[in-house]
A and B are shown apart, each in its own frame.
Chain A
């Protein structure tokens, strides 16, 4: 079983749509959680951290369920510029980041 699992997609959605990505992780001792965005042939960029209480940043909402070891990202009112690969990332033992393989989002006009 992979340490961090994501649906690879691609998710093809029209502009303005709401789209949700899910992620599960296997190590119950994982300490912190993130969503990164990676554009084609570029480095990952931090989108947002994920907290148990849930957190929102503009059109983006992240949720964490530690009991189910499940993380989600909701994007509202999708823009063309949201097209990218979204990486679910888990920090183990305070040092090592483990990346999911990513979920591809394509927003079309």
Chain B
């Protein structure tokens, strides 16, 4: 199946710093990528849809100025959590859309903000 990578897999940072997470589709081109967040014992929640070459579409309640998304190429999307705070600690997962509306997920990034 298609492969999606994420980097870093785990990050611990101090409150107020910014963290960038990369999502790459390794063996296919993805015009659309998605960013999700999952808090403990909860379901994945879609944060935003990232479209190559255009602005991301954010879900209701997600601050676009806090979660900056850049999708500059067909294989790379980045999510930057700006001025991170402890409540931003979560499991961030990206996915890339392949054929037949199937989404392939990256391994996730576990963010801990102290």
B32, B43, B101, B105 pick with most chain A CB within 10 angstroms: B43
Cβ of B29 to closest chain A Cβ, rounded Å = 17
The answer, yes or no, to whether B64 is at the interface (CB within 8 Å) is no
**Which B residue's beta carbon lies closest to that of A46?**
B102
Q: With an 8 A cutoff between CB atoms, is B46 at the interface?
A: yes
Known: A99-B43, A99-B44. A43 touches B101 (CB 8 A): no
User: With the chains together, A3 CA to B44 CA distance in Å?
Assistant: 13
Whether the Cβ atoms of A96 and B43 lie closer than 8 Å is no
Q: What is the distance, in angstroms, from B2's C-beta to the closest C-beta of chain A?
A: 10
Chain B stretch 20-67: residues in CB contact (< 8 A) with chain A:
32, 34, 42-46, 49
Interface size class, chain A: 20 to 34
Instruction: State how many angstroms separate the Cβ of A90 from the closest Cβ of chain B.
Output: 11
Q: Which residues of B contact A98 (CB under 8 A)?
A: 46
The answer, among A31, A41, A97, for a CB contact under 8 Å with B46, is A97
Q: Chain A binding site: helix, strand, loop or mixed by DSSP? A: strand
Q: Which listed residue (A43, A46, A100, A101) contacts B108, Cβ 8 A?
A: A43
B interface majority secondary structure: strand
CB-CB < 8 A to B49: which residues of A?
95-96
- With a cutoff of 8 Å between Cβ atoms, the chain A residues found around residue B93 in the complex are 43-44
The answer to whether A97 touches B34 (Cβ under 8 A) is yes
Q: Which residues does B use to contact A, with CB under 8 Å? A: 1, 32, 34, 42-46, 49, 91, 93, 95, 97, 100-108, 110
7 residue pairs bridging A and B, Cβ less than 8 Å apart: A41-B110, A42-B107, A44-B44, A44-B105, A99-B43, A101-B42, A102-B43
